[in-house]
C-alpha cells in the first residue's frame, strides 16, 4: 500500500495560507488516485512537537555510546521516567516518517529559513540511528519521496535582490539528502512573491505572484498524480512584462546541486532588478 505523510508547519492556519492550500491540493489529488487508507496528516503548528530537552539529549548520547541501536531497542536504554517519556513522544514520529512513501511538507519561508515548528519535528525524528537499517546499514529513507511546498513573500531566483538569501530550500535539500533520500526524490515547489498579493506598494508585481502561484499549482498536481519526476518541464514566458517563470523537474535529481537547481516556479529576476526584497 502506498502512503503519504502530510505535514503542515506554517503558523497561519486560515484559508489564506498559500502553503496549506497547496499541500491540501496535493493531498486531495493524491487521495483521489490512491485512496485515503495510506494518508496521514500532522499539523505541526496546531499540535507542536515539543522542543528537545535534557532527557532527549541524554538518551541520544547513551544510544551513541552503544553504537548502532535500532529504535526497537532504544526504550530499554531509557534511564529514567523523563527519558522514557521523551522517547514515547519521539518514537511514533519516527515510525510515522519511516512508514511514508511520500512525505509532503508545507513550509513557508520564515526569516529566510524554515518555521520553528518544522525544525522541532526535524530535531525529534533525527534521533541517532533512526534512519539506519540495523542489518545493512543503508538509509531507511532511500526510497522515500519528499515534496517540499514553500511559499515566500519575496523572490530568490537568479538576479533578484533575494538571490543568495534562501537558507530554506538548500537546508531542506541538504538535510534529506544527508539522511539518504535519493536526489531525484526530493522535489521543491516554490510560490514566490506572495507578499505582492497583499501589499499596495507591490501591486505592480502581482502578475508575477499570480504566475508563480499558477505554476506552483500545476507542479503540485503533477507531482501528486505521478510517482516520480519524469524529466518533463513546463515553462511560462510573459514577454509583455519581460518576466519569465520556469517550472522544471529534473529526472537526474537536484540535491547537492546549486541552491535553486531543479526548483519549481522560481521568479527569474535576471531582467527584473526591481523585485521586492523581504522586509
Ligand atoms: C514570521 C514570518 C517571517 C517571514 N519571513 C520571510 C522571509 O524571510 N522571506 C520572505 O520572502 N517571506 C517571509 N515571510 C512571508 C511568508 O513566507 C509568506 O507570507 C508566505 O506566503 C507564508 O506562507 P503561508 O501563506 O502558507 O502562511 C514571512 C512571514 C512570516 C509570518
pLDDT for the residue 267: 67
Closest atom of ligand 1 relative to the 16 alpha carbon: 25
Which residue from 110, 192, 275 has its CB within 8 A of the most atoms of ligand 1, so it is best to mutate? 110
Which residue from 111, 150, 193, 198 has its CB within 8 A of the most atoms of ligand 1, so it is best to mutate? 111
Which residue from 153, 190, 196, 220 has its CB within 8 A of the most atoms of ligand 1, so it is best to mutate? 153
pLDDT for the residue 263: 59
pLDDT higher than threshold 70 for residue 120: yes
Report the separation in Å between the CA atom of 230 and the middle of ligand 1, taken as the mean of its atom positions: 31
Instruction: Please state the domain extents for the chain.
Output: 4-268
If you take atom 8 of ligand 1, which residue's CA is the nearest one? 111
Report the separation in Å between the CA atom of 180 and the middle of ligand 1, taken as the mean of its atom positions: 29
pLDDT for the residue 276: 55
Instruction: Tell the CATH superfamily of the 4-268 domain.
Output: Flavodoxin domain (3.40.50.360)
Q: Which residue has the higher pLDDT, 182 or 255?
A: 182
pLDDT for the residue 1: 83
pLDDT for the residue 226: 81
Question: Number of C-alpha atoms within 13 angstroms, CB side, residue 245?
Answer: 26
- Residue pair 169/150 in contact (Cβ under 8 Å)? The answer is yes
Phi, psi of 165 (to 5 degrees): -105, 5
- Residue pair 215/206 in contact (Cβ under 8 Å)? The answer is no
Kindly report which listed range (5-14, 168-177, 225-234) carries the lowest average pLDDT score: 225-234
Give percent above pLDDT 70 in the chain.
Answer: 81
Would you call 62 helix, strand, or coil by DSSP?
helix
Question: pLDDT confidence of 227, banded at 50, 70, 90?
Answer: low
If you take atom 4 of ligand 1, which residue's CA is the nearest one? 110
Cα torsion 145, 225, 117, 258: sign: positive
| pTM, two decimal places | 0.88
Instruction: Report H helices in the chain.
Output: 18-34, 54-66, 71-77, 81-99, 116-125, 169-178, 206-225
| Average confidence score pLDDT of the chain | 86
pLDDT higher than threshold 70 for residue 273: no
Kindly report which listed range (93-107, 113-127, 165-179, 236-250) carries the lowest average pLDDT score: 236-250
Kindly report which listed range (18-32, 188-202, 209-223, 238-252) carries the lowest average pLDDT score: 238-252
Cα torsion 48, 50, 51, 52: sign: negative
Q: In the numeric block, which cell numbers belong to residue 28?
A: 486531495
Which residues are near ligand 1 (CB < 6 Å)? 10, 12, 17-20, 108-112, 151-154, 194-195, 278
pLDDT higher than threshold 90 for residue 246: no
If you take atom 22 of ligand 1, which residue's CA is the nearest one? 108
- Residue pair 117/12 in contact (Cβ under 8 Å)? The answer is no
Amino acid at each position: 500500500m502506498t502512503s503519504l505523510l502530510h505535514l503542515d508547519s506554517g503558523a497561519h492556519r486560515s484559508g489564506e495560507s498559500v502553503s496549506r492550500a497547496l499541500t491540501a491540493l496535493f493531498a486531495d489529488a493524491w487521495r483521489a488516485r490512491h485512496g485515503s487508507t495510506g494518508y496521514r496528516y500532522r499539523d505541526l503548528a496546531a499540535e507542536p512537537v515539543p522542543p528537545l530537552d535534557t532527557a532527549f539529549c541524554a538518551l541520544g548520547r547513551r544510544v551513541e555510546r552503544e553504537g548502532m541501536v535500532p529504535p526497537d531497542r532504544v526504550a530499554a536504554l531509557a534511564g529514567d521516567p523523563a527519558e522514557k517519556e521523551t522517547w514515547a513522544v519521539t518514537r511514533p514520529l519516527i515510525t510515522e516518517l519511516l512508514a511514508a512513501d511520500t512525505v509532503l511538507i508545507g513550509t513557508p519561508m520564515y526569516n529566510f529559513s524554515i518555521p520553528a515548528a518544522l525544525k522541532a519535528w526535524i530535531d525529534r525524528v533525527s534521533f541517532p540511528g533512526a534512519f539506519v537499517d540495523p542489518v545493512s546499514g543503508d538509509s531507511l529513507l532511500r526510497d522515500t519521496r519528499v515534496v517540499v511546498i514553500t511559499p515566500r513573500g519575496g523572490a530568490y531566483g537568479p538576479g533578484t535582490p533575494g538571490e543568495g538569501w534562501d537558507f530554506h530550500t538548500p537546508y531542506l535539500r541538504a538535510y534529506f539528502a544527508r539522511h539518504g533520500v535519493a536526489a531525484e526524490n526530493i522535489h521543491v515547489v516554490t510560490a514566490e512573491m506572495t507578499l505582492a498579493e497583499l501589499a499596495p506598494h507591490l501591486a505592480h508585481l502581482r502578475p508575477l505572484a499570480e504566475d508563480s502561484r499558477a505554476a506552483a499549482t500545476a507542479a503540485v498536481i503533477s507531482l501528486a498524480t505521478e510517482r516520480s519526476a519524469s524529466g518533463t518541464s513546463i515553462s511560462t514566458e510573459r514577454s509583455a512584462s519581460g518576466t519569465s517563470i520556469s517550472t522544471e523537474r529534473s529526472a537526474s535529481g537536484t540535491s547537492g546541486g546549486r541552491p535553486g537547481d531543479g526548483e519549481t516556479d522560481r521568479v527569474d529576476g535576471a531582467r527584473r532588478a526591481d523585485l521586492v526584497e523581504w522586509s
